[in-house]
Amino acid sequence: MTDTSSIPVVPDSAPERTATGSVRTPRSSTGAIRTLGSNPRTAPIVLHPGDAMPTWRRVVYIILLGALTALGPFTIDLYLPAFPVLEADFNTTAAAIQLTLTGTMIGFALGQLVVGPLSDKVGRRVPLLAVTALHVVASAAAAFAPDLLLLGATRVLMGAGAAAGGVVAAAIVRDLFGGRRLVVMLSRLALVSGVAPVLAPLVGSWLLGVMPWRGLFVVLAIYGVVMLIAAVIFVPETLPPARRRERGLTVWQRYRSVFSDRVFLGVLVIGGMTFSGLFSYLSASSFLFQQSFGFDAQQYGLLFAINSVGVVVGVQTASRLAARFGPQWVMAFSTAALVISAVAIIVADQAGLGLWGIVVPLFVFMTACGFTFPCAQVLALDRHGNAAGTAQSILGATNFGVAGIVSPLVGLISHDSGITATTMATVMAGCGAIAVLALWFIVRPRSVAQLTP
């Protein structure tokens, strides 16, 4: 693959004439490259480096960057079905085992906050390779952890090591693409981000049927090795040296430029609340459907698969609609759907409408999550091409950090009476309502410019 760091970057006001006589007028402030042939009126225009990529290469990027993005959710969720086994093996409490999950999410959030700005400063490859190598070592150590304390420590490092995948993948896409094509590419990554947390526990359940719990961490170590080798071979440096030095921005200045953007702050709230609504469902649904509705493991897995289809449909449809109408207007409908579907679950549960009264609006809620994820990511990154790693790290850390805080509220509300559809949907509706308010009062859709081609 072509190393895009070699692409020259000069101001718009300084066209460059090549040896063949063609005129190259590079980039906007976001790094877009505009290349003109010898006849500017008839030659094709390339606004971004990725625009000139053949289809097969874009497909390779989607597969590889999607797999890197999925490393984080799989690291967090793959071992969730093993919690009862871990509790018995270490002779401890469920709360102590859950702390290892908390540690993983903390490591994941902090890792993103470090890797994102670092990738803006030194380039994409070095942080990606270094932190993915950390994930491999930590996963291997977790597989042989002799006690819970060491397992918890390795899980924090695993979370930090998995953080690079999603952050750098999104930053690479932003380096290469812009405008409507950015929507399409990021929608593929958002599809992985939305589906992977749902599928990971199912894969973990299947693996536990053929191996002990320690084998799950061996699988994660192998996953990390494959990603490390693939990154070495197939992922070029996409951040040109000129953009790393651009305006001498320090890490603090990059953070300040991102946090001073009103639209980004609104998107941050929307993304965090949507992810929290999803995780509220993930944390409560096992108890709800297996204890209240008598599902067995296979039926519960089927429900997960069906809801995953809703996320897929939402993401893929959103990518087309956002490119045409603007991501802010797609979110105007999807965030409203989050609230309406969650309220419908509450009404159906209180009216005693049974299983179908719950699962139908739940599918709508998951589909609305799929619509929201790529639109939030596009609005966050399209406005910050010079700090794409920083912006993505903040977005990712907020999504997982806020979800880790909000999702246990379902259990706290249901502490005495047990988890019901009403308690689960109450938290989901609250998350959706906050997302709606953030969209209309912070982002303000009418103030957001349409995407460029």
Task: Give the integer Cα–Cα distance in Å for 192 and 173.
Answer: 14
- DSSP-based three-state secondary structure for 170: helix
Pseudo-torsion of CA 88, 89, 91, 92, nearest 10°?
-80
Residue 79 DSSP class:
T
Q: What number of other Cβ atoms are within 10 A of residue 327's Cβ? A: 32
Q: Report pLDDT for 220.
A: 96
| Residues 6+ away with beta carbon under 8 Å from 131 | 111, 115, 160, 161, 163, 164
Least Cα distance to 76 among 194, 255, 196, 238 occurs for 196
Task: Give the integer Cα–Cα distance in Å for 243 and 99.
Answer: 40
Q: Report pLDDT for 214.
A: 94
Q: What are 95-101's contacts with CB under 8 Å, separation 24+?
A: 96/148, 97/148, 99/152, 100/148, 100/151, 100/152, 100/155, 101/76, 101/155
Q: Report pLDDT for 293.
A: 86
Task: Give the integer Cα–Cα distance in Å for 284 and 92.
Answer: 22
Crossing angle of helices 354-382/327-350, nearest 10°?
160
| 217 token code pair | 């961490």
Instruction: Tell me if 120 sits within 8 A of 170, measured CB to CB.
Output: no
Task: Give the integer Cα–Cα distance in Å for 195 and 167.
Answer: 17
Predicted structure pTM score: 0.69
**29-56 b/e (C-beta count within 10 Å ≥ 16 → b):** ebbbbbbbbeeeeeeeebbbbbbebeee
Least Cα distance to 244 among 126, 387, 125 occurs for 387
Q: Report pLDDT for 452.
A: 60
* CA angle centred on 247, ends 242 and 249, rounded to 5°: 100
| 105 token code pair | 């999410």
Written as tens digits, the pLDDT of the chain (453 aa) is 444 443 333 333 344 444 444 444 444 333 333 333 444 444 444 456 666 677 777 788 788 888 888 898 899 888 877 877 888 888 887 667 767 877 887 888 888 888 888 888 888 888 889 999 999 999 999 999 999 999 999 999 999 998 877 788 878 887 887 766 777 777 777 677 667 777 887 788 888 888 999 999 999 999 999 999 998 988 888 887 766 655 455 667 777 888 889 999 999 999 999 988 987 887 777 768 877 888 876 677 678 778 888 888 888 888 788 878 889 999 999 999 999 999 999 999 999 998 999 999 999 999 999 899 888 888 887 777 667 777 877 888 888 778 777 877 777 776 666 778 998 999 999 999 999 999 999 999 998 877 665
| 398 token code pair | 């907020």
Q: Report pLDDT for 67.
A: 87
- Sheet hosting strand 33-35, strand order edge to edge: 16-17, 23-26, 33-35
Instruction: Tell me if 192 sits within 8 A of 69, measured CB to CB.
Output: yes
| 83 token code pair | 């919690």
Instruction: Tell me if 397 sits within 8 A of 109, measured CB to CB.
Output: yes
Q: Report pLDDT for 194.
A: 64
**116-130 b/e (C-beta count within 10 Å ≥ 16 → b):** bbbbbbebbbebbbe
Give the Å distances, CA to CA, from 65 to 26, 30, 74: 26, 21, 14
Q: What number of other Cβ atoms are within 10 A of residue 167's Cβ? A: 35
